[in-house]
Amino acid sequence: MLSIGRQRNGRCFTRRSFLQVGGSSVFGLSLANLLRAQETGRTPGSAKAVILVWMWGGPSQLETFDPKPNAPLETRGPFGTIPTRIPGVRFCELFPKLAGISDQLAVVRTLSTLSNDHGIAGTIGLTGSAAGGTGLDGKPLAGSARPATGAIVAKVRSSANEASRLPPFLVVGGKLHQGHKAIVGEGGGPLGALYDPFRLEYDPAYGTRVPALELPPALTPERLADRRTLLDALGAAERTVESAHKAGALDDYRTRAFALLTSPDARQMFDLSKEPAKLADGYGRTRFGQSCLLARRLVENGVPFVQVNWSDHVEAEEDAGDGGWDNHYRHFQLTQDRQAPNFDQGLTALLNDLKQRGLLKSTLVVAVGEFGRDPKVNDKAGREHWPGCYSALVAGGGTRGGRFVGTSDARAAKPADTPLTPGDLCATVHHAVGLTSEQITGMGLTPAGRVIEELF
C-alpha cells in the first residue's frame, strides 16, 4: 500500500503554503543539484550507494557484537555468545542470523566518541564532528554543523547517476529527536539546504508515507482510499506547482523535483506491496524490517545514499513500534524481546537480498549508533551511556567481510588497540564512494578522519 501525505491540522494546500514548503527542505532540494550542477573531478569508488542504518539511542556493544563472556556478571550480563564466521569473533546469542552471515560483514569494535549526550554524539556520528551539536542543555557547541555524510555523498554522487529520478539523499524514518528536541546533523549544513535529505516513513499500518506531500483538508482519510480521488488530488497539486512555476515563483529544479517525486515510477518504487510476500516476510513485518526493504528498492533504483533510522526517539518506550536503543533499565528484556530479533532479522535480510541481486559489492552498508553502553550493569538491569567504546557493522561497497577491526579491553570499556572515531567512519564512507580528500576540501570542508583501511 502506498500512502501519500497525511491529513493533519487542516492545513490548506494553497499556493502560498506551497511556496513556503518549497522554500524549506522538505521537497528534496538536494535533487535540485542533480538537475542543475555539473559533476567535476568525480573519482569512481566501488560503492555506488550507501545504506546507513542509524541505531538511534546507543546499542550496547556487549549485547550485540562485542560480548565479554569471561567478564564478571556485572559486565557480561545474562546472555551467552555464539560463534560466527569471523575467526576469533563471537556475537551475543541474540543475533544468530547475523552470526550466520558474518563472513559478509566486518565488525569495528573500537569506536569512541566525545560525548555521552545523545544530541551531541548524534551530531558527531552523522557528520564526523561535534561542531554545532546541541545537548540536553540546549546550548549549541561552537562552530557550524558539518553536513551529514549523506549530504556529502549526495553532492558528489547525484550527477553521477543522472538516470535516477529520485533525490540522492533519502532518509527512511522520522527526524531524529532527543526528547522533544531535533538533533543537529541530519542535513546539508554548509552545503546548503539543497542537500538536506528527503524523508520517507514506513508505517506498518499505512505503508510508505511521503510526509512532505500534504493534501488539501477536504481530502479525508476515507476519500484517500478512493484511487480516483487521490489521482485528482495529486493532479490538483501538480497544477498548483505548474501555476507557481509559470509565475516564476519556484526554482525550476524544485518544480521538477516535485514532479519526479509524485511520478508513477516513484510511487511504484515506494510501494512495498509490489514485493513478493515471502521476501517481505523475511525482512520482518516491522517498521525497521520494511524500512530496510524500502532502502533496498531505493538503492536498486539509483539512490546514492539512504539512511534508515531505527527510531525517531532514543528511548524504548516512547515509540509505539521499535523503540530506541537507550535502555537505562530493563535493558536485557527490551533487547531480547524487541530490539535484537527485529534488528537481526531485518539487517540479515537486507544483506542477503542485496547479495542475491548482485548489489552488495556496490552498496556500502553501515550499521552504527551514536555511542555504546556502560560495561557495568546498573541496579535497574540497565546500562547507562558509554562513549568510550562501541561497535559498528560494515558490509559491501568494496569492503571485505569476515573480519574485525580493533580489539576492546576485557570489559569493552575502551579500545585495547586501533582506536577509531565516528569521523574515521565518515571518512571511510567517503572513501568507499570514491571521494578524495581534495574533493572534500574543495567543498570547503576538512576531512573528518582517517579511512579505516583495514576494512578494504
Partner 1 sequence: MMKNRILLIAVLLHLVTLSDVTVSSAKGEEPVRLTTDQSFKQHLQSSPDGKQFSFTRIHQGKMGVWTMAADGSGFKRLLPGHDQPDFDAHWSPDGKRLVYVHDQFQGTDGKLSLRTCNVDGSDEQILIPHKAFDESPRYSPDGKQVLFVSTRDGNPELYTVGLDGKDVKRLTSQVAYDLHPAWSPDGKQIAFASGRTGKQKIFAVKSDGTGAKALTDGDFLDAWPAWSPDGKRIAFVSNRTGNYDVWLMDADGKNLKNLTEHSGHDTSPAWSPDGKSIAFVSTRHGGSDVYRIAVE
Return residues touching partner 1 (CB under 8 A): 69, 73-74, 77-80, 82, 93-94, 96-97, 100, 204-205, 281-282, 284-286, 315, 317-321, 326, 328-330, 332-333, 336-338, 341, 344-345, 377, 379-382
Gyration radius from the chain CA atoms: 21
- Considering the complex, what minimum distance in angstroms separates the CB of residue 395 from partner 1? 18
- Considering the complex, what minimum distance in angstroms separates the CB of residue 121 from partner 1? 14
What's the N-to-C CA distance of the chain in angstroms? 39
* Burial of 414: CB neighbours in 10 Å, binned 0-12, 13-18, 19+: middle
Q: Which is nearer to partner 1, 112 or 345 (CB)?
A: 345
Q: Which is nearer to partner 1, 54 or 332 (CB)?
A: 332
d(CA 42, CA 52): 22
Pull the grid cell for residue 440. Answer: 572534500
Q: Secondary structure of the chain: what % helix, strand, coil (to 5)?
A: 35, 15, 50
> By C-alpha distance, which of 112, 88, 81 is closest to 414?
112
The helix (run of H) or strand (run of E) holding residue 182 is: strand 181-182
- Considering the complex, what minimum distance in angstroms separates the CB of residue 337 from partner 1? 6
- Considering the complex, what minimum distance in angstroms separates the CB of residue 356 from partner 1? 16
- CB neighbours of 278 closer than 8 A, spacing ≥ 6? none
Q: Which is nearer to partner 1, 132 or 324 (CB)?
A: 324
- Considering the complex, what minimum distance in angstroms separates the CB of residue 204 from partner 1? 5
What are the distances in angstroms from CA 30 to CA 169, 255, 281, 299, 325? Answer: 7, 12, 33, 16, 30
Q: Which is nearer to partner 1, 134 or 327 (CB)?
A: 327
Q: Which is nearer to partner 1, 164 or 178 (CB)?
A: 178
Pull the grid cell for residue 205. Answer: 499500518
- Considering the complex, what minimum distance in angstroms separates the CB of residue 185 from partner 1? 21
Q: Which is nearer to partner 1, 35 or 279 (CB)?
A: 279
Q: Are 170 and 200 in contact (CB under 8 A)?
A: yes
- Considering the complex, what minimum distance in angstroms separates the CB of residue 150 from partner 1? 28
Q: Which is nearer to partner 1, 81 or 255 (CB)?
A: 81
What are the distances in angstroms from CA 229 to CA 215, 220, 239, 258? Answer: 11, 10, 15, 19
